[in-house]
């Protein structure tokens, strides 16, 4: 499963990118607004921090077809080839996804709340569709169940589109979807840290170090003990 950081805080992005096997960063206008800074400048800094190979998802702002296509071109020229342009999965968005796919620009049908929205974005040629698990849960529906249904539809009709599951509130949701074979997930830094936030893991690591020190004459590593 591809794993992305759903955040625009450069410090957090760099911390996670250094430690975890992360594929890139996903943003949306609200995530960028949380930085309180010029969104174009923030996107440029994320690209420069991650390098040209990382995948960055960035969203168009207009809601008409030509405006979406124009913003998509602007984002690709700002951030380079390894950019996936997020397009809201509304009627105008499906058309923009179709036009951009024909040009070879990779898109993500975002703001997905229903399986049929995912179907339409996939059929329009989106490389990804991004359903919002937590927001679906908050509407009184089963977000994880809804995403599984979307995956079933994509598999059944043999679309290459990957689901980029988004809006997680905990690692259980990520585990459920990873187990189901969802191809990509984007999570806030706290949710990614939560994948390994477990007292038993910390205690096991502490015990291994303590046991080594009992017989290593105070040397705190194998390299040090060899000398
Ligand atoms: O990027 C879109 C999605 O992750 C939104 O998440 O937490 O605002 O529901 P959230």
pLDDT of residue 105: 98
Residues 156, 134: Cα–Cα separation, whole Å: 25
Ligand 1 atom 3: the closest Cα is on which residue? 167
Measuring CA to CA, which residue among 80, 105, 11, 20 is closest to residue 49?
11
Residues 69, 87: Cα–Cα separation, whole Å: 9
pLDDT of residue 24: 98
Residues 198, 74: Cα–Cα separation, whole Å: 43
End-to-end CA, the chain = 41
Containing H/E element for 73? helix 65-79
Ligand 1 centroid vs 167 CA: distance in angstroms? Answer: 4
pLDDT of residue 30: 98
List, in sequence order, every residue forming a beta bridge with 86; answer none if it has no partner. Answer: 59, 108
Ligand 1 atom 5: the closest Cα is on which residue? 167
Beta-carbon contacts of residue 120 (< 8 Å; ≥ 6 apart): 89, 94, 109
**Mutate-to-test residue for ligand 1 from 135, 169, 184, 189, highest number of ligand atoms within 8 A of CB:** 135
| Cα–Cα–Cα angle for 127, 182, 91, rounded to 5 degrees | 40
The catalytically annotated residue of 11, 34, 44, 86 is: 86
DSSP for 176-210 reads HHHHHT-SEEEE-HHHHHHTT--HHHHHHHHHHHH
Nearest atom (ligand 1) to Cα of 168: 7
Measuring CA to CA, which residue among 124, 166, 202, 163 is closest to residue 31?
166
Measuring CA to CA, which residue among 84, 110, 111, 77 is closest to residue 24?
84
Structure confidence by residue, pLDDT tens digits, 178-187: 999 999 999 9
pLDDT tens track of the chain, all 227 residues? 999 999 999 999 999 999 999 999 999 999 999 999 999 999 999 999 999 999 999 999 999 999 999 999 999 999 999 999 999 999 999 999 999 999 999 999 999 999 999 999 999 999 999 999 999 999 999 999 999 999 999 999 999 999 999 999 999 999 999 999 999 999 999 999 999 999 999 999 999 999 999 999 999 999 999 98
pLDDT of residue 145: 98
Backbone angles phi, psi at 92, to 5 degrees: -65, -35
User: Does the predicted TM-score (pTM) go above 0.85?
Assistant: yes
- HEC readout, 87-150: EECCHHHHHHHHHHHHCCCCEEEEEECCHHHHHHHHHHCCCEEEEEHHHHHHCCCCHHHHHHHH
pLDDT of residue 192: 98
């Amino acid at each position: 499963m591809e794993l992305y950081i759903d955040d625009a805080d450069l410090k957090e992005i760099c911390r996670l990118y250094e430690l975890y096997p992360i594929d890139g960063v996903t943003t949306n206008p609200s995530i960028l607004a949380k930085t309180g800074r010029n969104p174009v400048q923030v996107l440029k800094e994320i690209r420069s921090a991650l390098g040209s190979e990382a995948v960055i998802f960035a969203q168009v702002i207009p809601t008409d077809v030509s405006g979406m296509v124009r913003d998509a071109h602007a984002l690709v020229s700002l951030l380079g080839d390894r950019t996936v342009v997020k397009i809201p999965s509304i009627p105008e968005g499906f058309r923009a996804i179709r036009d951009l796919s024909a040009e070879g620009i990779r898109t993500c049908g975002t703001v997905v709340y229903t399986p049929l929205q995912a179907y339409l974005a996939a059929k329009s040629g989106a490389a990804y569709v991004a359903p919002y698990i937590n927001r679906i849960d908050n509407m009184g529906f089963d977000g994880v169940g809804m995403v599984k249904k979307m995956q079933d539809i994509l598999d059944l009709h043999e679309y290459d589109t990957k689901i980029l599951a988004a809006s997680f509130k905990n690692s259980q949701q990520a585990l459920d979807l990873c187990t189901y074979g969802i191809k990509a997930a984007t999570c806030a830094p706290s949710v990614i840290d939560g994948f390994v936030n477990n007292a038993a893991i910390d205690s096991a690591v502490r015990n291994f170090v303590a046991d080594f020190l009992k017989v290593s004459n105070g040397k705190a590593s194998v390299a040090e003990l060899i000398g």
